[in-house]
Amino acid sequence: MRVKRGPGLYPFLGLCLLGAVYLGASRLGYLDRLQQRFFPAAKEAIRLSPGDFPAGVAAPVADMASVPLRPTLIGFTPRGSAASLLLATGGATSLDTVGPAPGAAQGLLKTAYALDARAVLFAREEELRQALAVGAEQGGVDMAAISVDRLAAWAPSLRDAAPRTLLLVGRSRGQEALAAVGLADLASLRGKRVGMYPQSSSYYFALWVLSRAGLRMTDVRWVELPSTLDAGRALREGRADAVAGLWGDVELAAKDRDGTVLATTADAPHLVATVLVARGDFAARYPDAVRRIIRGLLDAGNAVLKEPGPAARLLGEVAPYLGDPTEAIRSAPPATLADNRAFFGLSGEAPVTYDELFQSASALYRKINHTAGNPPAEDTRDLGALKYVSEARGP
């Protein structure tokens, strides 16, 4: 019996032949040569960035100055643990003024450590991220006090800044809160509108609350807010059934509508940790300034814990929405040297270490498709200055 060839056989054989020729030419490099000769613009452009090189490559061989000849700018968003930063710098400023008001008191860093440092206030965490990304030389900041979960979420966008964690500033022990109107418990969040600012540690706390309640992210209807400070207003105006924000703001809003606070970070006191992060180029160029800042912040933190009055007044001036500033400090107190030693694994024990917190937050944000792969935790910290200060102060 004779097999009849269909009309599509020859075109198919031709395509197979072309494919084989293409594969062979590609492996032998002929296609690349033809593209480079006839279509040079089509070749993929490789964009280089500062993040492709070590942060300290531009540091001078011999430092001309042990500290910057300009003010060191440290960005922060208000919370109780920022009280130590305010006491160390003498108060808060903004990027528009970059300096204390005339007649303002000098901070501990200036009087005890001869370092001109300014605490720069930001209302939104995203603005703080952008300022750290560009650096003080380009209108941003040299350092920032941010939570570990934010550092994990922002790591890809901060790659060129090569951020290095230097110090534990404090932990939230009730400052983040989730308040609701008309809901009796966390399980009642199912199907409800939950307001949050996605660039905040309050959002990270809200995710923990859902896990505690056994709810999936799709079990609630997320309402994105323009900032953390909009949480209380959203609850008052009925734009959300529940909101995640700062306790002093959302607790008062819930009370105004006969609502209640369902959870705070007092239930998870090791979840939200604020750390001092420096741009890699600044840390490499001015190691002595880093040591002075760590000493000053630890000294200021001890002063706040001993007598919170002066720092509470500074905090109340810049962040009235935190409520009673003394209570705000109590719910997010400054960290001590012993806290730092344990948190970074230098001595003692901590329920959750920096590495554990960073890695778990990184994995969570990868899981919910917020970020690509992050560097290992050890690549995001520089404990040299902290070890130096710790050894100098003894056990």
Sequence spans of domains, the chain: 50-173+272-393, 185-267
Structure tokens at 166: 């230097």
CA distance 254 to 52: 48
CATH class, domain 185-267, is alpha beta
Question: Which is more confidently placed, 36 or 240?
Answer: 240
How does residue 3 score in pLDDT terms, banded at 50, 70 and 90? very low
Give burial (CB, 10 Å; 0-12/13-18/19+) of 50. middle
Q: What's the half-sphere exposure (Cβ side, CA atoms, 13 Å) at 83? A: 33
pLDDT at 39: 58
Give tens-digit pLDDT for 233-254.
Answer: 999 999 999 999 999 999 999 9
185-267: same fold as 50-173+272-393? yes
Give tens-digit pLDDT for 335-393.
Answer: 999 999 999 999 999 999 999 999 999 999 998 876 667 889 999 999 999 999 999 98
Question: Residue range 181-199: average pLDDT?
Answer: 96
Question: Residue range 252-271: average pLDDT?
Answer: 96
**Cβ atoms of residues 166 and 386 within 8 Å:** yes
Q: What are phi and psi of 117, to 5 degrees?
A: -130, 140
Q: Which residues pair with 74 in a beta bridge?
A: 119, 143
**Cβ atoms of residues 294 and 386 within 8 Å:** yes
Question: Residue range 133-158: average pLDDT?
Answer: 96
Distances (CA, A) of 148 to 34, 65, 168: 50, 31, 10
CA distance 9 to 21: 19
Instruction: Classify 128 in phi/psi space as left (phi over 0), alpha (psi -120 to 50) or beta.
Output: alpha
**Cβ atoms of residues 231 and 250 within 8 Å:** yes
Reply yes or no on domain 50-173+272-393 having CATH 3.40.50.1110.
no
Give burial (CB, 10 Å; 0-12/13-18/19+) of 58. exposed
**Cβ atoms of residues 92 and 314 within 8 Å:** yes
Would you say residue 279 has pLDDT above 50? yes
Would you say residue 329 has pLDDT above 80? yes
3-state secondary structure the chain: CCCCCCCCHHHHHHHHHHHHHHHHHHHHCHHHHHHHHHCHHHCCCCCCCHHHCCCCCCCCCCCCCCCCCCCEEEEECCCCCHHHHHHHHCCEECCCCCCCCCCCCCCHHHHHHCCCEEEEECCCHHHHHHHHHHCHHHCCCCEEEEEHHHHHHHCCCCHHHCCEEEEEEEECCCCEEEEECCCCCHHHHCCCEEEECCCCHHHHHHHHHHHHHCCCHHHCEEEECCCHHHHHHHHHCCCCCEEEEEHHHHHHHHHHCCCEEEEEHHHCCCCCEEEEEECHHHHHHCHHHHHHHHHHHHHHHHHHHHCCHHHHHHHHHHCHHHCCHHHHHHHCCECCHHHHHHHCCCCCCCCCCHHHHHHHHHHHHHHCCCCCCCCCHHHHECCHHHHHHHHHHCC
CA distance 190 to 193: 9
pLDDT at 371: 61
